[in-house]
């Protein structure tokens, strides 16, 4: 493979991100990204998140990155995203990581980023409406984990579920499944 291609591809991606979206051009760029080795894909896309986060997340979601790359993207989202945009970071990564891993990361980050974790948890039930291919956590264990995380956020003062009756159901399930969490 030509040494110059990744550099040209990076420039082409930057130029695309600076302009308006074009599905045919985006697909052609995505094909070129996928033609690169795994390590190169992440090196090409992750720095571009600063230019146009939403578009790069959509490209990354379709770029067949490594699991480690999607994990790095999720963690970066927990560092940078606001209450609204964290939804895009989750949508771009959960399909590749799975809910179990996403919840594990959220639990790890809860001690240092409770506000950001609460933002992410708020969007979990709504992700499948915009992205029907993202199934919600349906196993009992995953639903229990979700409820425990929501309850822990509330205990720390971060409201994930503003609906009091719904939160009481979540809290009761969390307490029932894990004692006092």
- With a cut of 50, which residues of the chain have pLDDT below it? 1-4, 180-181
The pLDDT value recorded for residue 127 is 80
Cα–Cα nearest to 59, from 35, 41, 85: 41
pLDDT digits 0-9 by tens, 99-125: 999 999 999 999 999 999 999 999 988
| Cβ-contact 125, 87 below 8 angstroms | no
- 132 burial (CB, 10 Å; 0-12 / 13-18 / 19+) is exposed
- Return d(Cα 91, Cα 108) in angstroms, integer: 19
Dihedral sign (CA 62, 66, 67, 71): negative
Residue carrying the six token digits 């790359």 = 69
Answer whether 0.75 is exceeded by the pTM: yes
| Cβ-contact 105, 74 below 8 angstroms | yes
The pLDDT value recorded for residue 2 is 43
């Amino acid at each position: 493979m030509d040494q110059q291609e990744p550099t040209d591809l990076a420039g082409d991606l930057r130029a695309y991100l600076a302009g308006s979206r074009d599905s045919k051009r985006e697909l052609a760029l995505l094909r070129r990204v996928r033609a690169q080795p795994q390590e190169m894909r992440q090196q090409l896309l992750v720095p571009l998140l600063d230019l146009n986060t939403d578009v790069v997340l959509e490209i990354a979601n379709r770029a067949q990155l490594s699991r480690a790359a999607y994990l790095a993207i999720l963690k970066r989202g927990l560092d940078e995203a606001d209450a609204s945009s964290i939804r895009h970071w989750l949508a771009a990564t959960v399909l590749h990581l799975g809910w179990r891993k996403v919840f594990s990361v959220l639990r790890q980050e809860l001690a240092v980023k409770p506000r950001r974790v609460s933002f992410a948890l708020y969007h979990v039930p709504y992700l499948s409406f915009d992205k029907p291919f993202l199934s919600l956590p349906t196993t009992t264990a995953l639903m229990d984990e979700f409820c425990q995380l929501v309850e822990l956020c509330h205990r720390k003062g971060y409201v994930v579920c503003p609906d009091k009756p719904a939160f009481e159901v979540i809290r009761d399930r969390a307490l029932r499944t894990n004692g006092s969490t």
